[in-house]
């Protein structure tokens, strides 16, 4: 059935000459033809920003479900199966349900002009309206102001995750000011806005952009924060000081993300979530390709020696690279780090790679399988070499693993540059 789904998805890509064309007219037209399913969703939390959106979404989901609430969640991109974008009342949509959903919306759309992203957002709204849940969590797409997820009249909360430079090719100037405007200027009023840990200069711009928004605002540093401890972290806000264990997510920055999720839960006092629920939930958060070590039983292990470690992260912009580099710095394993790199064409490749200059010993570049708009491995390798990091290309992910292990059977193989790339590696595993 997956083949049939892929055929439908391929067909949908032909409905608009571009995958991305920022506008709300087409999505609103299709939603109207579907009898406006988005208006039937209650208790919606919208998550906007550049990085950490997925981590915060899954942390929220785990906490709500542990407290006994049902959750619908829409995230993108998917890593291994398209179904991952549609989480409905405790499970990912089945192949049959997904196929039927795509066919139904395709028929109603009747070959009218609409982008792929807009179409699949409309599909989620329809599916979520038919799977009534206590909470709906929506991860915004490219930006927010003209993103297909920005079609609601009301929500219960907006979360602003760390904001940085990304997707400049879809903007007029590509400055951080423009990005903050696109992500924050049209957040819903009469709600609650939780602002995560940000760089100081970016935080200033966010404050200015949302100053006239009538929602209650909760800032990291002022209204909540965390303190890392030997066994976990202390979450602090104006009412609480609670000790929590480490979350089931690698990297200190994930403590910050989980703290933002906790603050959101705390300000949404209509839900009866106990400290015990949160403590239990954060130790079992499920999030792939976020500083994920491949376990000993993975299929990729047969291509490398027992001394090699495989670490996967979908970082693809400078802001994400900075926090991942910090994690690598604190590993203290004594092992060499060899980067396996695949990136999409529209990224700031040199800026991304330079951040790892002091951290990785060499880089092997690859094309991203099953994608169209990737940067060719030869070009990417040249950029890496220009950054002063020895680089070469390889034919495939498998041969890259084999050759790295032959050369250094004790190295950490660090796979990064794109969530699509990370997904292909996880599928091989």
Q: Please, are residues 133 and 88 in contact by the beta-carbon 8 Å criterion?
A: yes
Q: Which residues contact 14 (CB under 8 A, 6 or more apart)?
A: none
What's the CATH code of the domain at 85? 3.40.1190.10
Let me know if residue 201 belongs to a domain. yes
Spatial CA neighbour of 114 closest among 20, 192, 223: 20
The Cα–Cα gap between 382 and 398 comes to 22
Residues 265 and 351 reside in one and the same domain:
no
**Domain stop point among 282, 303, 326:** 282
Residues 312 and 402 reside in one and the same domain:
yes
Residues 311 and 223 reside in one and the same domain:
no
Let me know if residue 322 belongs to a domain. yes
Using CB atoms within 10 A of its CB, is residue 184 exposed (0-12), middle (13-18) or buried (19+)?
buried
Pairing mode of beta strands 224-228, 232-237: antiparallel
Residues 318 and 420 reside in one and the same domain:
yes
The Cα–Cα gap between 179 and 158 comes to 17
Q: Which residues contact 343 (CB under 8 A, 6 or more apart)?
A: 316, 349, 352, 368, 374, 375, 380, 417, 418, 421
Let me know if residue 125 belongs to a domain. yes
Pairing mode of beta strands 412-416, 337-341: parallel
Q: Which residue has the tokens 């495989």?
A: 310
Report the interhelical angle of 176-184 vs 200-209 (nearest 10°): 50
The conformation of residue 144, written as its DSSP 8-state character, comes to S
Residues 374 and 395 reside in one and the same domain:
yes
Let me know if residue 405 belongs to a domain. yes
Tens place of pLDDT for every residue, the chain, 429 residues? 899 999 999 898 888 876 667 789 999 999 999 999 999 999 999 999 999 999 999 999 999 999 999 999 999 989 889 999 999 999 999 999 999 999 999 999 999 999 999 999 999 999 999 999 999 999 998 779 999 999 999 999 999 999 987 666 666 777 999 999 999 999 999 999 999 999 999 999 999 999 999 999 999 999 999 999 999 999 999 999 999 999 999 888 999 999 999 999 999 999 999 999 999 999 999 888 899 998 877 788 899 999 999 999 999 999 999 999 999 999 878 899 999 999 999 999 999 999 999 999 999 999 999 888 899 999 999 999 999 999 999 999 999 999 999 999 999 999 999 999 999 999 998
The Cα–Cα gap between 95 and 1 comes to 6
Residues 264 and 302 reside in one and the same domain:
no
Spatial CA neighbour of 389 closest among 348, 352, 361: 361
Residues 109 and 252 reside in one and the same domain:
yes
What pTM, to 2 d.p., does this model score? 0.92
Instruction: Assign 3-state DSSP to the chain and report helix, strand, coil percentages, each to 5.
Output: 40, 15, 40
Q: Which value, to the nearest 10 degrees, does the dihedral of the CA atoms of residues 428, 166, 139, 80 take?
A: -10
Let me know if residue 369 belongs to a domain. yes
Residues 272 and 339 reside in one and the same domain:
no
The Cα–Cα gap between 176 and 407 comes to 42
Residues 273 and 388 reside in one and the same domain:
no
Residues 255 and 333 reside in one and the same domain:
no
Report the interhelical angle of 116-130 vs 25-33 (nearest 10°): 40
The Cα–Cα gap between 85 and 77 comes to 7
**Domain stop point among 236, 257, 282:** 282
**DSSP states along 177-203:** HHHHHHHHTTPPSSSEEEE----HHHH
The tally of domains found in the chain comes to: 2
What's the CATH code of the domain at 345? 3.90.190.20
Alpha helices, H only, 13-115: 25-33, 53-66, 95-109
Residues 266 and 398 reside in one and the same domain:
no
**Domain stop point among 242, 261, 282:** 282
Helix, strand or coil, per DSSP, at residue 407: helix
Let me know if residue 287 belongs to a domain. no
- Domain housing 139: 2-282
Residues 331 and 234 reside in one and the same domain:
no
């Amino acid at each position: 059935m997956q083949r049939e789904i892929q055929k439908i998805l391929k067909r949908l890509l032909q409905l608009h000459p571009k995958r991305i064309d920022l506008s709300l007219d087409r999505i609103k037209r299709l939603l109207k033809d579907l009898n406006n399913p988005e208006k039937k969703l209650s208790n919606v939390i919208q998550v906007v920003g550049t990085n950490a959106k997925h981590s915060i979404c899954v942390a929220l989901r785990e906490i709500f479900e542990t407290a006994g609430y049902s959750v619908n969640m829409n995230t993108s991109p998917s890593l291994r199966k398209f179904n991952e974008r549609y989480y409905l009342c405790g499970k990912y949509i089945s192949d049959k349900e997904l196929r039927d959903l795509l066919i139904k919306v395709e028929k109603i759309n009747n070959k009218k002009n609409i982008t792929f992203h807009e179409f699949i957002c409309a599909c989620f709204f329809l599916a979520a309206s038919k799977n009534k849940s206590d909470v709906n969590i929506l991860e915004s797409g490219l930006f927010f102001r003209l993103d297909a997820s920005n079609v609601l009249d009301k929500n219960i909360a907006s979360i602003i995750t760390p904001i940085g430079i990304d997707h400049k090719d879809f903007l007029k100037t590509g400055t951080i000011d423009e990005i903050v405007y696109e992500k924050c200027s049209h957040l819903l009023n009469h709600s609650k806005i939780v602002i995560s840990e940000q760089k100081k200069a970016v935080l200033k711009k966010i404050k200015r952009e949302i100053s006239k928004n009538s929602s209650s605002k909760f800032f990291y540093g002022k209204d909540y924060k965390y303190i890392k401890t030997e066994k976990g972290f202390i979450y602090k806000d104006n009412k609480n000081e609670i000790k929590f264990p480490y979350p089931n997510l690698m990297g200190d920055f994930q403590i910050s993300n989980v703290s933002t999720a906790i603050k959101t839960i705390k300000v949404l006092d209509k839900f009866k979530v106990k400290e015990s629920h949160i403590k239990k939930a954060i130790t079992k958060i499920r999030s792939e390709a976020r500083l994920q070590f491949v376990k000993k039983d993975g299929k990729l292990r047969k291509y490398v020696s027992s001394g090699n470690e495989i670490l996967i992260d979908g970082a693809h912009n400078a802001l994400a690279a900075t926090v991942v580099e910090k994690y690598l710095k604190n590993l203290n394993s004594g092992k060499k780090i060899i980067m396996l790199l695949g990136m999409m064409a529209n990224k700031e490749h040199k800026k991304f790679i330079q951040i790892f200059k002091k951290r990785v010993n060499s880089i092997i570049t690859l094309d991203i399988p099953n994608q169209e708009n990737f940067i060719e491995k030869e070009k990417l390798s040249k950029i890496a070499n220009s950054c002063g990091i020895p680089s070469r290309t390889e034919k495939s992910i498998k041969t890259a693993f084999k050759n790295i292990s032959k050369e250094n059977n004790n190295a950490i193989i660090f796979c990064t540059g794109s969530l699509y790339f990370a997904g292909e590696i996880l599928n091989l595993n």
